[in-house]
Amino acid sequence: MLKKIVQKIEEFDTIVLHRHQRPDPDAIGSQLGLKKLLQLNFPEKTILATGFEEPTLAWLGQMDTVADSDYPASLVIVTDTANTERIDDARYANGAFLIKIDHHPNDDAYGDLLWVDTSSSSTSEMIAFFARELGLDVDAEIARLLYAGIVGDTGRFLYPSTSARTFEMAAYLRRFDFDFSGLSRQMDAMDYKVAKLMGYVYDNLEVDENGAARVVLTQETLKTYDVTDAETAAIVSAPGRIGAVQSWGIFVEQVDGSYRVRLRSKSAIINEIAKRHGGGGHPLASGANSYSLEENEAIYKEIQQVVKDASK
């Protein structure tokens, strides 16, 4: 598979890289890490990255301005995106050939060539493996981006998806001279207003007798703490630090009145809940959508049920 991907890269003069909407460190780390990797090893080619500029992740890198005219004869590679609905920039379909590189369950097998590895902790781990196995040149900036993606999607190596190969790839990337300590501090840092919101989460977290938990962040709450929807990503893991909490949902109200639902779990499988509510993701880390208070309640009841079943 790796050689087939390289063969396609060699065929095209222009390559456009996409990733998922509402990006996290793995989405941007894998996208920009692959961009820098291709630029270093194929300097004669035009390599572009497109997507929304997420302010909270600007420290990772910037997107390019990609014209419609760049697509017709281009190779398009989409990283870290399970389904077409979540691909940032719908022009991904305008290229001449499409490659999917991802580590999520392959429920939407889009693309002309697919490399999907659900045993990988992150797509950044896959890109690091790609580089090492093919003997491609890597520099400190590539290593920084891919390492950030791995750290982000493993929760600093805490999640069950962390494997022996994950540590191998982290060690491989750590050989390069990037500011490892600075990166770690950057990923662990949060604004004071987000820290105050975390206090709100702990004060308002509802937990049932089996460890199913939820908290709702309304638009009013976000305005009170002057926090954006994107910035709430920093508090998603907070409920899991409570020993009694097993699975949880964070319901973030959007401007249009709908809710973005972030689902997390320590052991009970919750991605099937996400799929039933317009989302998806990993077995223990998923996202869904809700369009009413009633649907919020239904999702929480489903969380309660899977936790109850898992405790039997």
- Measured N-to-C along each axis, helices 2-11 and 123-133 cross at an angle, to the nearest 10 degrees, of 80
Question: 10 Å Cβ neighbour count for 228?
Answer: 12
Q: In the chain, what's the furthest Cα-to-Cα distance?
A: 61
Contact between 124 and 173 under an 8 Å Cβ cutoff? The reply is: no
Where do the structural domains in the chain lie, given as residue ranges? 2-187, 195-310
Average confidence (pLDDT) per 10 residues, the chain, 312 residues: 95 97 94 98 98 92 96 97 93 97 94 96 98 97 98 89 96 95 88 95 97 97 95 92 96 96 95 92 90 97 95 80
Instruction: Identify which of 114, 130, 162 has the alpha carbon closest to the alpha carbon of residue 33.
Output: 130
Give me the sign of the Cα torsion angle 81, 84, 86, 88: positive
Q: What pLDDT does 149 receive?
A: 97
Give the CATH superfamily of 2-187.
inorganic pyrophosphatase (n-terminal core) (3.90.1640.10)
Looking at residue 312, its pLDDT comes to: 75
Strands 97-102 and 46-49: unpaired
The predicted model scores a pTM of 0.88
* 195-310: CATH architecture: Roll (3.10)
pLDDT at 188: 85
pLDDT given at position 92: 97
User: For residue 124, how many C-alpha atoms fall within 13 Å in the half-sphere facing its CB?
Assistant: 31
CB-based contact 52:88 (threshold 8 Å): yes
Among residues of the chain, what percentage have pLDDT more than 70?
100
Give the residue among 291, 292, 238 at the shortest CA–CA distance from 264.
Answer: 238
Count the helices and strands in the chain (H runs, E runs). Answer: 10, 11
